[in-house]
Amino acid sequence: MHATDDTHRPELGSWVASANQPATDFPVQNLPFGVFSRVREGGPPRCGIAIGDSILDVSAAADLGLFGETELPAALACAEPRLNALMAMGANVVRALRAAVSRMLRDDTEEGKRAEAVAREILVRMHDAVMRLPAEIGDYTDFYASVHHATNVGSMFRPDNPLLPNYKWVPIGYHGRSSSIVVSGTPVRRPKGQTRNDPAGPISVGPSARLDYELEVGAFVGPGNTMGETIPIGEAASHLFGLCLVNDWSARDIQSWEYQPLGPFLAKSFATTISPWVVTLDALEPFRVAPAERAAGDPAPLAYLSGDDDRARGAFDITLEVWLSSESMRASNTPAMRVSRGRFVDMYWTLAQLLTHHASNGCPMRAGDLIASGTVSGPTPDSRGCLLERAWRGTEPLRLPTGEPRRFLEDGDEVTLRGWCERPGARRIGFGECRGVVAAAR
Amino acid sequence: MHATDDTHRPELGSWVASANQPATDFPVQNLPFGVFSRVREGGPPRCGIAIGDSILDVSAAADLGLFGETELPAALACAEPRLNALMAMGANVVRALRAAVSRMLRDDTEEGKRAEAVAREILVRMHDAVMRLPAEIGDYTDFYASVHHATNVGSMFRPDNPLLPNYKWVPIGYHGRSSSIVVSGTPVRRPKGQTRNDPAGPISVGPSARLDYELEVGAFVGPGNTMGETIPIGEAASHLFGLCLVNDWSARDIQSWEYQPLGPFLAKSFATTISPWVVTLDALEPFRVAPAERAAGDPAPLAYLSGDDDRARGAFDITLEVWLSSESMRASNTPAMRVSRGRFVDMYWTLAQLLTHHASNGCPMRAGDLIASGTVSGPTPDSRGCLLERAWRGTEPLRLPTGEPRRFLEDGDEVTLRGWCERPGARRIGFGECRGVVAAAR
């Protein structure tokens, strides 16, 4: 934890009352960044910070003189319709801005009193706002960092050879599609495509019959690296702005027919949903822990992927859940059903290792680039992060409260991802939700 | 050919004398778009059109009143530092602009006389300009559309299984990395990475020892599609703005170790070089031909990939070459050596099929997105488009004029791609060059 950063102290409260409720994802200890538009007044999107059930309009606060000279450039960058400029400013600048916002939203400071007096001008209720993508995502990369997921899926696609020889040496990843990343709440249309479910059978073209979600954590890149330069593992965390939730929707039937030899393509590129709030690494500081120990006999990470700080606290202790509700569940007011709960600490590679590996060939990372972890699956069946694993390729269908079976997603199904951090001695913080409803194919 | 478009007539000449030389890539029949900066005067990059050894500063011509009202909005969009806005305007708008520029640069028109009178204000010599990337490339996709390349490479990586069962049904492609696309002339640093040349041997980390080029053709997307919608094959050509040359630099040793199961990643993402001039589909109109016939026994393309127009003239008859010179060749003034010559008509899939397939799942394509063909290899050894194939995985090294052997690229090697179209009754047009020198690893 940073000596100068006291924004995590669990006893802090806010003059925004909803931020003090125990169940909120957004207490004053969190302060995640996002991009919003006001529903009624209209106007261009701008950057805000979540506090309870409201959003601090950062640049409105700047216009009212609520920031000091130090934080002013960063606060003014929040007038832009995306976080990229702020992300590029670096960890120290963002930390100072976030600390100033903390003082501004607390109930025990002079800054808080001044801000509360102009609350109507600087706060927007979340239900009066529409959230946008937090950044212009130049490049999106999806990794495969859960050894449990890789082993489960591998055993279905390649029973004789589930985990490939490179897995424990190379953080496996592939480039994803930026143009189809959408913010939570956007309907996701079932894709059509080529499939061949029986290797000797006919090829079909039509709506995917094996639509799936994937529970992932995404990391937004802060300051990037120059092309041809690398990012040493010890500096990786300072290149990460913050984390969000990612649903990497996948069409398993399209995937299994198209993916060799160049990897998943149309099975993924139809839609990827992310949560709108980006939780900074500073907010996650109290929840950094040592990564899970590797199994006996596994190779140690190679030197360029090994760092003292990463070994000591390279993982983030985030609990992650997937909730599912069918159209008939919602019609009958049946609450959504939790279909999995996993922990981000179960990943085989840390985010720092993923970023360092990504830049190890000199590939330039840019502020606003998104790196996703790959499906977060743990060692137990109920911690498996996709339906393919959860219902074991359709052979063990889930049973919804309405009695409906689920092998893969049906039209009208709503998938909601949630994530939060809690531990004794710290205030619980959350990610909000990452939600999407499946629309029928056209 | 469009009835209203007479820009191809072979007898047309230009008042820019260099455009009338037989060997130029940029006669008045071509008129490709690019983005340039003036070296001496400085100033922001803007869009221009190549003519002989010069560049027409389109928005400067607009400022001088040389465009009619119809073309003015498109001409003014050329004041931007990238072609994206123009690309989004669509084929009809670009066609009208290009036709106006044709009249402006011809030696037999009133418009030409007016333009020649202000030549100093609207023309920039190429050697007084620095070329930039032509567009902000939101997403970059690399296909694998040469069956000869796929078979050759497959037989090296999977001797028992060279061409996978999906190849003749699915246009295979993968998402590439946008951030490392650079314009011709940018040095390319040899990447470092993990390699394991012997499946049972140790893993190394260090500079790639198997650096390669790949000769490809790139297509810039014009107007895109809305997410969730598709692009029917009959409309695909109208969504393509124009073509360029692409060198998809590849580190074969990194690739073979990392690529399973999710495809190439760091083996490609360190650099991709493109030529600066985008040759419009209108300029290529006289060189559109029927695609190569599929071999007997091959499946016909599925319905969504079949179109009358595409069958009749979906291919582009472009001759493509790779030239190589080592540092010692350049030191001794030895001319570069041509290492391959192929034809773009030898591809298994047309560009329209690639685009239609790409959007068939509803993936949104955006103006400025880049789609590359994959390595252009033909049926004969001298038409193989990468060194891996040309020197057959190092077993048949090339011999340079200096006597130096080449299994893979060495530091200081300069790779230059060229492409052009010619046929009786049409004026030859070219793509300019796509060039890069290999810099030593850091």
Using H for helix, E for strand and C for coil, what is the string for B212-277? ECEEEEEEEECCCCCCCCCCCHHHHHHHEEEEEEEECCEEHHHHHHHCCCCCCCCCCCCCEEECCC
Tokens of A65: 């003189």
- Phi and psi torsions of B162, nearest 5°: -60, -50
Residues (pLDDT < 70) of chain A are: 1-4
Alpha carbon distance B13, B7 (integer Å)? 11
CA B154, chain centre distance (Å): 24
Alpha carbon distance A354, A348 (integer Å)? 10
Question: Is residue B415 within a helix (H) or strand (E), and if so which, with residue range?
Answer: strand B414-421
Q: Which tens digit of pLDDT belongs to each residue from B189-227?
A: 999 999 998 888 999 999 999 999 999 999 999 999 999
**What is the least distance, in Å, from the CA of B202 to any CA of chain A?**
11
Chain B touched by A139 (CB under 8 Å): yes
| Exposure on the CB side of residue A76, measured as CA atoms within 13 A | 8
DSSP letter assigned to residue B395: T
Residues of B in contact with A229 (CB under 8 A): 442
> Does B173 sit within 8 Å of A270, measured CB to CB?
no
At CA A354, angle to CA A351 and CA A359, rounded to 5?
130
Q: Report the pLDDT value the prediction gives residue B2, as an integer from 0 to 100.
A: 45
> Does B302 sit within 8 Å of A138, measured CB to CB?
no
Strands B272-274 and B181-183: parallel
**What is the least distance, in Å, from the CA of A61 to any CA of chain B?**
33
pLDDT above 90 as % of chain B: 95
Of B172, B302, B361, the CB nearest to A270: B361
From the list A148, A149, A357, A358, the catalytic residue is: A149
pLDDT-derived band at B4, boundaries 50, 70, 90:
low
- B131: pLDDT strictly greater than 70: yes
Interface test with B, best of A208, A262, A349 (most B CBs within 10 A): A262
In terms of Cβ atoms closer than 10 Å to its own Cβ (0-12, 13-18, 19+), residue A425 is exposed
Strands A181-183 and A272-274: parallel
Other CB atoms closer than 10 Å to residue B205's CB: what's the count? Answer: 14
> Which residues, in sequence order, are CB contacts of A245 under 8 Å at separation 6+?
A215, A216, A217, A218, A274, A275, A320, A417, A418, A419, A431, A432, A433, A434
Chain A touched by B229 (CB under 8 Å): yes
Residues of A in contact with B271 (CB under 8 A): 227, 362
Nearest of B195, B188, B206 to residue B413 by alpha carbon: B188
Q: Report the pLDDT value the prediction gives residue B42, as an integer from 0 to 100.
A: 78
Q: What is the ipTM of this complex?
A: 0.96
Q: Which residue of A has its CA nearest to B140?
A: A177
Chain B touched by A367 (CB under 8 Å): no
Could you give the 3-state DSSP secondary structure of residue B38? strand
> Which residues, in sequence order, are CB contacts of A297 under 8 Å at separation 6+?
none
Amino acid at B91: A
Interface test with A, best of B144, B156, B161, B175 (most A CBs within 10 A): B175
A residues 267-296 lying closer than 8 A (beta carbon) to B: 267, 269-271
Q: Report the pLDDT value the prediction gives residue A407, as an integer from 0 to 100.
A: 98
Alpha carbon distance B250, B269 (integer Å)? 8
pLDDT-derived band at B3, boundaries 50, 70, 90:
very low
Between the CA of residue A278 and those of A135, A241, A275, A342, B210, what are the distances in Å? Answer: 10, 8, 8, 20, 40
> Which residues, in sequence order, are CB contacts of A364 under 8 Å at separation 6+?
A224, A225, A226, A227, B179, B180
CA A47, chain centre distance (Å): 18
Residues of A in contact with B442 (CB under 8 A): 228-230, 362
Residues A302 and B203: beta-carbon distance below 8 Å: yes
DSSP letter assigned to residue B175: E
Q: Report the pLDDT value the prediction gives residue A3, as an integer from 0 to 100.
A: 43
Question: Is residue B371 within a helix (H) or strand (E), and if so which, with residue range?
Answer: strand B370-372
From the list B8, B148, B149, B239, the catalytic residue is: B149
pLDDT above 70 as % of chain B: 99
Strand-pair partners of A173: A143
Q: Mean of the pLDDT values across residues B138-160? A: 93
Residues A151 and A374: beta-carbon distance below 8 Å: no
Residues of B in contact with A271 (CB under 8 A): 227, 362
> Which residues, in sequence order, are CB contacts of B247 under 8 Å at separation 6+?
B213, B214, B215, B216, B272, B273, B274, B415, B417, B434, B436
Alpha carbon distance B288, B307 (integer Å)? 15
Chain A touched by B266 (CB under 8 Å): yes
Q: Assess whether A149 carries a catalytic annotation.
A: yes
Look at the block and give the residue holding tokens 């996993």.
A342
- Phi and psi torsions of B76, nearest 5°: -70, -30
Mean pLDDT of chain B: 96
**What is the least distance, in Å, from the CA of B426 to any CA of chain A?**
39
Q: Which 3-state string (H, E, C) describes chain A?
A: CCCCCCCCCCCCCECCHHHHCCCCCCCCCCCCEEEEEECCCEEEEEEEEEECCEEEEHHHHHHCCCCCCCCHHHHHHCCCCCCHHHHHCCHHHHHHHHHHHHHHHECCCHHHHHHHHCHHHHEEEHHHEEEECCCCCCCEEEECCCHHHHHHHHHHHCCCCCCCCCCCCCCCEEECCCCCEEECCCCEECCEEEECCCCCCCCEEEECCCEECEEEEEEEECCCCCCCCCCCHHHHHHHEEEEEEEECCEEHHHHHHHCCCCCCCCCCCCCEEECCCEEEHHHHHHHEECCCCCCCCCCCCCHHHCCHHHHHHCEECCEEEEEEECHHHHHCCCCCEEEEEEEHHHCCCCHHHHHHHHCCCCCCCCCCCEEECCCCCCCCHHHCCEHHHHCCCCCCCEECCCCCEECCCCCCCEEEEEEEECCCCCCCEEEEEEEEEEECCC
Q: Which residue of A has its CA nearest to B366?
A: A179
Strands A288-289 and A250-251: unpaired
- B306: pLDDT strictly greater than 90: yes
Chain A touched by B263 (CB under 8 Å): yes
Q: Report the pLDDT value the prediction gives residue A2, as an integer from 0 to 100.
A: 45
Chain B touched by A198 (CB under 8 Å): no
Residues B236 and B432: beta-carbon distance below 8 Å: no
Residues A352 and A123: beta-carbon distance below 8 Å: no
Chain B touched by A22 (CB under 8 Å): no
A residues 411-440 lying closer than 8 A (beta carbon) to B: 439
CB pairs under 8 A between A and B: 193
Question: Is residue B286 within a helix (H) or strand (E), and if so which, with residue range?
Answer: none
Chain B touched by A159 (CB under 8 Å): no
Q: Which tens digit of pLDDT belongs to each residue from B46-58?
A: 999 999 999 999 9
| Exposure on the CB side of residue B61, measured as CA atoms within 13 A | 35
In terms of Cβ atoms closer than 10 Å to its own Cβ (0-12, 13-18, 19+), residue B209 is middle
Chain A touched by B362 (CB under 8 Å): yes
> Does A261 sit within 8 Å of B259, measured CB to CB?
yes
- B69 phi-psi bin (left φ>0, alpha ψ -120 to 50, beta other): alpha
Of B174, B254, B257, the CB nearest to A174: B174
**What is the least distance, in Å, from the CA of B114 to any CA of chain A?**
43
